[in-house]
Amino acid sequence: MAKNIDFIIKTIENEEEVLNLLLDDFQKKDFYSASQKQIQLGYYTDAIGILRVLNKYDEAITLAREKGLEGDALKLELEYLKKLEKSNQYNKAGYLANQLGFETKAIKNFNLGSRV
């Protein structure tokens, strides 16, 4: 029983330390590092939100899928596809559209990409 209590106390101390480091990251505006600490603490949705704002869509999508947040992953993929198209990154958009099963959209993006 004492070992369990020691483990719980150690876990709480570790989480408190990570939370303090997380606060430091936010104060320093090191948002990527903050997102990694949020992942460590299990705040996956918050971490995904930060990665999205930082335009780290690949990492955000991967994290969402790993944590079983399929709806979030799909929403991120569709948002990313629109961003790629708006920024004339047609080849990347074509690959993503193809991966999502949007064959016509993929072909359109590949055609536009070959003209740029």
| DSSP helix/strand/coil, 29 | coil
Question: Residue 85: is its pLDDT beyond 90?
Answer: yes
d(CA 41, CA 60): 16
What percentage of the chain exceeds 90 in pLDDT?
65
Find tokens 């990492």 and name the residue. Answer: 59
Q: What percent of the chain has pLDDT over 70?
A: 87
Residue 65, C-beta contacts closer than 8 angstroms, at least 6 positions apart: 73
* Half-sphere exposure of residue 27: CA atoms within 13 angstroms, side-chain side: 6
Torsion of CA 24, 27, 29, 31, to 10 degrees: 50
Orientation angle between helical segments 31-41 and 2-27, nearest 10 degrees: 160
Helix (H, G, I), strand (E, B) or coil at 43: coil
* SS3 category, 106: helix
What pLDDT digit, counting tens, does each position of 42-83 carry?
Answer: 999 999 999 999 999 999 999 999 999 999 999 999 999 999
